[in-house]
Amino acid sequence: MSVCTTTKKLLTVKQVADRLSISVHTVYKWAEVGKLPKVKFGYVLRFDPERIEKFISEGSA
Inside any domain, residue 31? yes
Report how many domains make up the chain: 1
pTM: 0.81
pLDDT of residue 6: 57
For the chain, helix, strand, coil in percent to 5 are: 45, 15, 45
Inside any domain, residue 4? no
Each residue of 2-29: pLDDT tens digit?
A: 555 556 799 999 999 999 999 999 999 9
Range of the domain at 20: 13-57
pLDDT of residue 30: 97
**Percent of the chain scored above 90 by pLDDT?**
79
In 3D space, the residue among 57, 21, 30 whose CA is nearest the CA of residue 38 turns out to be 30
Residue 57 has pLDDT above 60, yes or no: yes
The residues with which 46 forms a beta bridge, in sequence order, are: 39
pLDDT of residue 26: 98
